[in-house]
Amino acid sequence: MSLLGTLSRDNLIAGDCRVKTEEVMIASGQSLVRGSVIGKVKYAIATTGTLAGTGNGTITLVKPRKKTRLGTYTVTCTSLLTTAAIFSVSGPFGNALGSVSVGLGTADYADFESSEIAFRLTNSSTDFDATSVFTIAVTAYIPVTATVTGTGNGTMANLETGRLAKRGAYTVTCTTAATHGGTFTVADPSGVTVGYAYTSKRTGTGTGAVTEIKAGPQFKRNGAYLITCTATASNGGTFSVTDPDGTVIGSFSLPGTSTGVATFWHEQISFKLADATDFVLADVITLYFFKSDHLSFVIWDGSTDFIVNDVFTCTVALANEECSLVNRDNVNGSQFPFAILADDCDATSAATRSLAYVAGSFDERSVYFGGQETAADYREELREIGIVLENSSVAIS
């Protein structure tokens, strides 16, 4: 094992797989050795729920899960029985996560578990009723801003950082101009191209905003998703959603109330559509969602077209790169593995830069985890992000 601040030869790296490194920021208050498995701090989650309506019960022991999303989770009382209250649980995009039933006796409780969130729901002296709704907020630690320089006055929205995001300024530069459109090259703070983005636009009368866009596990990166009005209504309408292959993947309706909002959710993509100027038949929103391991965002067409060399600058704040020793008890995103530390790092008194492996094969006997976890607990998750743990036959000296 190497001493603090030095890199000595050991048997951490195993096999013939080429390693890939990234610079990371180790959060203050830690002294970690080479081979430590680290997770990236991504969000803050409320540890208790906030109740609106009748009842004085509580939601406690809130824990994020592997698929936790930014936004607000809702836990709504949907049915009252003689001895229990039943609550439905939905994610930030209206996606149903399941239900939980809690007894009406004082201090009765029930635990809820899903792929996105877990918590304990406890009844108290005043029973719940049909007005009882809990909310649980998940917010980002990572502030990002985007400004445009040039002729076009379109906007960049829905900014989020990904697993490999770096501190500094990303540039999104128009390389091909088109009427109500354009192609953009996305470069990281070092100037390395990480992808290409396209302009989203609205065709027709309706001006409702598409927000909270999220890529699902079956998201198709190349091509446009089309949101088409198939039936009109005052303050509303019915819409079909078509994927980049031309397949209709679902439909939804606005509620028909002023300022109403509808949620669409699918394994490929989810979003919210708000009421504004009424949509008319065959209005189309062409949605190009850019997603990479660095950034995700949408560029919207404005009243003035983009021209070549118009540039969006998106600054990723320092907090985005802070990492902690992976531990299932963490609740800020660092409970999930991101990389393996390549050198010892003493960040006891201040956040400190270091180097980490984000891909490669490593000897499982030379890696370290927080809490009581072992290599077996993280093996599959690490493999999913390109890190393979091997039981090397080479003796460690």
Query: For the residues 80-105, what does the mean pLDDT come to?
Result: 93
Please tell me the total count of domains within the chain: 3
What confidence category does residue 320 fall into, taking pLDDT thresholds of 50, 70 and 90?
Answer: low
Verify that 218 and 354 share a domain, yes or no.
no
Flag whether pLDDT at 140 surpasses 80.
Answer: no
Which residues share a beta bridge with 198? 183
For residue 78, give every residue at least 6 positions away whose Cβ sits within 8 Å of its Cβ, in sequence order, or none: 86, 87, 88, 99, 130
* Residue for token pair 């065959």: 282
Output the DSSP codes for 308-354.
TT-EEEEEEPGGGGEEEE--TT--SSTTS--EEESS-EEESSS-EEE
Verify that 163 and 279 share a domain, yes or no.
yes
What confidence category does residue 9 fall into, taking pLDDT thresholds of 50, 70 and 90?
Answer: very low
**Cα dihedral: 83, 89, 94, 96 (round 10):** -90
Least confident of 29-38, 262-271, 316-325: 316-325
- Enclosing H/E stretch for 50: strand 50-52
Closest CA to 69 of 160, 155, 1, 5: 160
Verify that 259 and 331 share a domain, yes or no.
no
pTM beyond cutoff 0.75: no
Q: What is the pLDDT of residues 377-388, one digit of tens each?
A: 999 999 999 999
Among the three residues 140, 175, 207, which one is the final residue of a domain in this structure?
140
Domain that holds residue 244: 144-316
* Residue for token pair 């088109």: 178
Task: Assess contact for 174 and 304: CB atoms under 8 A.
Answer: no
Task: Assess contact for 340 and 35: CB atoms under 8 A.
Answer: yes
Q: What is the pLDDT of residues 338-357, one digit of tens each?
A: 999 999 999 998 888 899 99
State how far the Cα of 158 lies from the Cα of 321, in Å rounded to an integer: 20
What confidence category does residue 8 fall into, taking pLDDT thresholds of 50, 70 and 90?
Answer: very low
Among the three residues 298, 316, 334, which one is the final residue of a domain in this structure?
316
Residue 114 in any domain: the answer is: yes
Verify that 194 and 57 share a domain, yes or no.
no
- In this prediction, residue 119 carries a pLDDT of 97
Verify that 302 and 333 share a domain, yes or no.
no
Verify that 173 and 129 share a domain, yes or no.
no
More confident residue, 116 or 318: 116
Query: For the residues 321-343, what does the mean pLDDT come to?
Result: 89
**∠ CA 134-334-43 to the nearest 5 degrees?**
45
Task: For the chain, give the mean pLDDT.
Answer: 89
Verify that 36 and 85 share a domain, yes or no.
no
Query: For the residues 86-107, what does the mean pLDDT come to?
Result: 92
Which residues share a beta bridge with 146? 314
Q: What is the pLDDT of residues 217-226, one digit of tens each?
A: 899 987 999 9
Rank 81-95, 236-250, 349-363 by mean pLDDT and report only the highest. 236-250
Q: What is the pLDDT of residues 34-67, one digit of tens each?
A: 999 999 888 889 899 999 999 999 999 999 887 8
Verify that 223 and 246 share a domain, yes or no.
yes
Q: What is the pLDDT of residues 198-212, one digit of tens each?
A: 999 999 999 999 988
What confidence category does residue 166 fall into, taking pLDDT thresholds of 50, 70 and 90?
Answer: confident
Cβ of 115: how many Cβ atoms within 10 Å? 12
Closest CA to 93 of 292, 294, 296, 261: 261
Verify that 379 and 245 share a domain, yes or no.
no
State how far the Cα of 63 lies from the Cα of 250, in Å rounded to an integer: 31
- In this prediction, residue 319 carries a pLDDT of 54
Residue 15 in any domain: the answer is: no
What confidence category does residue 396 fall into, taking pLDDT thresholds of 50, 70 and 90?
Answer: very low
Verify that 374 and 384 share a domain, yes or no.
yes
Residue 395 in any domain: the answer is: no
Residue 330 in any domain: the answer is: yes
- In this prediction, residue 333 carries a pLDDT of 86
Flag whether pLDDT at 253 surpasses 70.
Answer: yes
Flag whether pLDDT at 270 surpasses 90.
Answer: yes
State how far the Cα of 224 lies from the Cα of 203, in Å rounded to an integer: 14
- In this prediction, residue 392 carries a pLDDT of 65
Among the three residues 116, 140, 164, which one is the final residue of a domain in this structure?
140
Query: For the residues 94-106, what does the mean pLDDT come to?
Result: 93
- In this prediction, residue 317 carries a pLDDT of 63
Residue 397 in any domain: the answer is: no
Flag whether pLDDT at 6 surpasses 70.
Answer: no
* Residue for token pair 């309506």: 53
Q: State what percent of residues in the chain have pLDDT above 90.
A: 66
Residue 12 in any domain: the answer is: no
Start-to-end CA span in the chain (Å) = 9
Verify that 224 and 170 share a domain, yes or no.
yes
Closest CA to 166 of 304, 63, 319, 291: 319
- In this prediction, residue 143 carries a pLDDT of 60
Instruction: State phi, psi for 67 to the nearest 5 degrees.
Output: -105, 20
- In this prediction, residue 269 carries a pLDDT of 94
Flag whether pLDDT at 276 surpasses 90.
Answer: yes
Residue 72 in any domain: the answer is: yes
Verify that 107 and 192 share a domain, yes or no.
no
> What's the CATH number where 38 sits?
2.40.300.10
Residue 337 in any domain: the answer is: yes
